Amino acid sequence: MNEYEKLLQKILAPFDLSQPGQIDRAYETCVDYARRNLLNDPNCNDFLLLASQKLETIPVHLDTIGLTTPMSPESRLDLYVSDENEVVLSGNREGLSYLIDLLNKLKDEEPSEHFHLDPGEAPLTRRSWPFIVYREEHPWFDEQDTHPIEALGLPDRSTLDPGQVVAIQFLDFPPAHLKLASQKLYKIGVSVGPNVSESPHRIPSKAWEKHYEGGAEGRYHEFALVNDAQVPVKVRLHLDDPGVQFFQRSDLANLL
């Protein structure tokens, strides 16, 4: 890495790092240099990591695979989660060829290397979900298989009263058509119970169900809330689903 240390010294030489803003400008210069000169260098991101350590700033990781893989202007890909919680990937001939080229490059990279595609940026459609693919070795997958759900330290919700739930938070991604975001708190308008006709409130007649594998049927409950488009939606959730957080009024008070 001596040659990169010498290169870094040369790039940083004009900057007075003791002055306000100079560290940020210096690192931006390093990133710009890497974009222009090191994208085909396997040590590109190692250089940026070295620079970040020298400057004591947050490192930038360049998507060298995506930036060096030619893409036809006709390439189109679409990625979304269906109402049945299935990940659906569609592409035209050019888009699928581009994805194949990305994967062929990724398979020869080091573990943890990855590429990502962003919604609204070619080739992904605007409605698509962000798309990231990592390259890992066999032990990584074995480790995932040896971590049962019980080992995650999930809270005991056996006494949770759905009627006392005032807000929910999705930890994974709901379907795009619901216009609900992950990691965001949504206030419950009314808990509609197992029978929609019991509620006098104007809510959708059909609920989207978030399936929880192996969950007891009696632990499902329906909630009405307003999505990000200010439209009422109804969701049917399992009270033991680790992908959903349920908040009672006391929980929110403890956060304030």
Residue 204's pLDDT band (boundaries 50, 70, 90)?
low
Please tell me whether the overall predicted TM-score, pTM, comes out greater than 0.85 for this model: no
Distances (CA, A) of 204 to 113, 178, 195: 44, 12, 13
Does the structure show a pLDDT above 70 at 107?
A: yes
Once rounded to an integer, what is the mean pLDDT over residues 201-224? 83
Does the structure show a pLDDT above 90 at 31?
A: yes
Residue 203's pLDDT band (boundaries 50, 70, 90)?
low
Mean of the per-residue pLDDT values of the chain: 86
The string of pLDDT tens digits covering residues 138-190 is: 999 988 877 654 445 566 788 899 999 999 999 888 888 888 888 889 999 75
The string of pLDDT tens digits covering residues 44-84 is: 989 999 999 999 998 888 888 988 999 999 999 999 888 76
